[in-house]
Structure 1
Amino acid sequence: MSEVLPCLILAGGLGTRLRSVLGDEMPKALASIGGRPFLSWMLHGLVQQGVPEIVLAIGHGQRHIRDFVATSCGGIEVSFVEEHEPLGTGGAIVHALRSHGAPDMIVMNGDTISNLDLRGLSAFHRSSKADLVIAATTVADGSRYGTLTFDAQTRRLCAFHEKREGHGFINAGTYALKAASVLECELPNRFSFEQDFLAKRVASMDMRVFPDVTEFIDIGIPQDYARAQTVIPQMLEANDREA
């Protein structure tokens, strides 16, 4: 049985669009969902899937995250990589990969949760020998997210498309990647992984798509944060019953 890769969670975001809910100090990863911090749901889901190692990339509100892990996550082994200034999603990933040293990792946005099979993603990453695998899900309207296309047989990524209406596959905010494939690129200290890295390297890197996510939600805007109050507990509790 294929082992799940170590998992890096990007938990350093400012949560600007949720300030009305969180206030200025509380990090987005600790937003309350069904009476529990969002990060609690994430960590529980990772442990449930057998993730062997969890790394949190922390920046804004890192003291709150450290306190939460120390007092509320007994039995879950978590390590930290600190950002001393905002680095964007790309800079945060590069900094964490350099600090941690694992040759392959799963990387997850700290405001997104799904029913992604991490063991299946890890196995596909290994068997495809790709530089990077993008977990994807389908939506009826891609105008908020932008969509991607890929070869149905090899699952090789063909293109990213600007936000446009209509059904399509979207990036579900989780990747399996080879650290060397990212670190060997010349990159600025601060950049967007999605816009400045992925979109510009479709032709030069072997990127594949793992299109098996059927339930997906991010809490980045107030409307979805409100919807997450019921969706996330239902999703995770259903997974518990199936485990």
Structure 2
Amino acid sequence: MHAVILAGGKGTRLRPYTTSVPKPLVPIGDTYSILEIVLYQLRSQGFTHITLAVGHLSHLIRAFVSDGSRYGLSVDYTDENQPLGTIGPILNVLDKLPEHFLVMNGDILTDLKYAAFLDRHRASGRPVTVATYHRELKSEFGVLDVDESTNIVAFREKPTVKFQVSMGIYGMTRETLKHYTPGQALGFDTLMLDLLACGDHPRSDLFSGYWLDIGRPEDYDMANEQWKEMQPVLLPQPPGRPE
């Protein structure tokens, strides 16, 4: 099984931690980097081949991971000389990927079973499967519904809006991306809108376990605070650090 890990962003929201270290390499609990945790998880679930899409400070990621043999994986790389969006880097290596493969951001901590997720995507026949998570957003204000004649037609006191968000983990089918040109910038949002426009609906795979997107300093602080409790869940059999 093959996974593409998106590790090319500058991590500007996580500064100053990412000023000299790429976000996937920031340490969690002084034990492992985020990327190491993900690599060990993927290996334990049967993944054998990883493609790292790198850009910002890519030489550090290459030096740290190398060919992946230290992690029991085969790792290769695709470089972003300019920002290509979430999907753009994949287009450059599309001919080297299997028909169904995993795509994920390199700054995620979750106990999602990646292999089972990819199996569900493969069985669904959908062009893309998005791992999704329930979120609630509570308004700080009373909300008014106003019609075209400026009449207030409804009022809700500080309502809570429930919705599903993308976890940054996708089951992808190669055929879905063959219509795009290698080298072009392509965001996940554009891909979703293109698929919806032609009636080829992506699939939601709702998850209710542990998920933390480490995008902001407060998220990083939370990950470190929770690491002692979550390590047995995220890494049930902690591997030895490679020499």
Amino acid at match of 1:93: I
Taking the TM superposition and a 5 Å limit, the aligned residue runs for 1:1-243 are 5-23=1-19, 25-35=20-30, 36-70=32-66, 74-77=70-73, 78-98=75-95, 100-141=96-137, 166-185=161-180, 189-193=184-188, 195-204=189-198, 205-232=200-227, 234-241=229-236
2:137 partner letter: D
Question: How much is the aligned-residue C-alpha RMSD, in angstroms?
Answer: 2.7
Q: Deviations over 1:51-85 (max 9, x none)?
A: 12211111111110011113996143222122222
How far 1:186 moved relative to its partner?
6.2
**Which string of whole-angstrom CA distances, capped at 9 and with x for unpartnered residues, describes residues 140-162 of structure 1?**
3389xxxxxxxxxxxxxxxxxxx
Report the count of equivalent residues: 216
> What is the one-letter code of the residue matched to 1:32?
P
Gap change, CA 1:95 and 1:233, over 3 Å in 2: farther
**Greater helix fraction, Structure 1 or Structure 2:** 1
Higher mean C-alpha deviation, range 183-192 or range 173-182: 183-192
| 1:89-113, Cα deviation, whole Å (9 max, x unpaired) | 1212322424x33221100011122
Show CA shifts across 1:22-78 (max 9, x none): 21x321111121112211111111112221221111111111001111399614322
Unaligned runs of 5+ in 1: 144-163
Contact map agreement 1:115 1:213 (CA 8 A) in 2: no
For 1:127, what is the secondary structure of its paired residue?
A: helix
Kept in 1: contact 2:26–2:34 (CA 8 A): yes
Question: Contact (CA 8 Å) 2:27, 2:33: kept in 1 or not?
Answer: yes
User: Structure 2 counterpart of 1:138, which letter?
Assistant: H
**1:85 is aligned with what amino acid?**
Q
Q: Structure 2: which 5+ runs fail to align?
A: 140-158, 239-243
Could you tell me whether the CA contact under 8 Å between 1:142 and 1:168 is conserved in 2?
no
Distance 1:45 1:75, change over 3 A: closer
Residue 85 to residue 214, structure 1, CA distance change in 2 (3 Å): same
- 1:215 Cα offset (Å): 1.2
Identity of aligned residues (%): 29
Give the 3-state SS of the residue equivalent to 2:38 in structure 1: helix
Bigger Rg, which one: 2
**Preserved CA contact (<8 Å) 1:132 1:175:** yes
1:153-195 deviations in Å (ceiling 9; x for gaps): xxxxxxxxxxx952222111100111121222468712321x2
In structure 2, how many angstroms separate the alpha carbons of the residues matched to 1:201 and 1:231? 38
SS at match of 2:42: helix
